[in-house]
């Protein structure tokens, strides 16, 4: 297991496409970044540090992510705001002997309101387990989104 350049690079590319998907309001494509049995958790730094698996959001299948997108569309959340992810390079991307990758990446997400006002929404990091699919492409088997703040508006919980 090692932070090879190839692995860091592959995770960086995955993160970039993931961000473009959300920031470009192509939400229907978002579940496609995950495995069928994926776990997607949004939690706070404090909860995570305390060892809790609980989160503001807890999904444990791609189907739940698809339902989430439908809910966001019904609520017309993207009519009112957009997002912009800025990410550091992964600080860690370790591949094990089965090709699974464990990675960590810091992010800042900005929120852009309809009238153009832009502000910092939340900072945090992704703690990921990634798995290659049949075609060799990395998919997210588990993404724990550890948010530095726990006070952002959960009703508008866009995918992070």
Interface with a copy of itself by CB under 8 A: which range of 34-42, 54-62, 64-72, 101-109? Answer: 101-109
93-125: b (≥16 Cβ within 10 Å) or e: bbbeeeebbbbbbbbebebeeeeeeeeebbebb
**Residue carrying structure tokens 């990446």:** 105
Output the six-digit token pair for 69: 């997108």
In whole angstroms, the minimum distance from the beta carbon of 37 to a copy of itself comes to 26
Nearer to a copy of itself, 61 or 129 (CB): 129
Entry field: residues in the chain: 160
Applying the rule CB under 8 A, the residues between 27 and 56 that interact with a copy of itself are: 45
Residues that bind a copy of itself (CB under 8 A): 3, 5-6, 8-9, 12-13, 15-17, 19-20, 23, 45, 82, 84-92, 104, 106-108, 110, 112, 115-120, 122-125, 148-151
């Amino acid at each position: 297991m090692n932070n090879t350049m190839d692995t860091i690079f592959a995770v960086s590319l995955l993160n970039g496409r993931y961000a473009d998907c959300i920031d470009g309001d192509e939400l229907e494509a978002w579940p496609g970044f995950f495995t069928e049995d994926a776990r997607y958790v949004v939690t706070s730094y404090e909860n995570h540090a305390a060892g809790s698996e609980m989160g503001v959001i807890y999904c444990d299948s791609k189907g739940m992510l698809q339902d989430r997108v439908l809910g966001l569309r019904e609520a017309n959340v993207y009519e009112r705001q957009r997002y912009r992810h800025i990410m550091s390079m992964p600080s860690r991307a370790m591949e094990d002997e089965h090709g699974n990758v464990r990675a960590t990446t810091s992010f800042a997400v900005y929120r852009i309101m309809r009238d153009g006002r832009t502000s910092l929404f939340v900072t945090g990091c992704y703690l990921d387990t990634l798995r290659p699919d049949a075609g060799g492409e990395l998919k997210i088997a588990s993404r724990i989104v550890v948010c530095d703040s726990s006070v952002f508006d959960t009703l508008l919980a866009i995918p992070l």
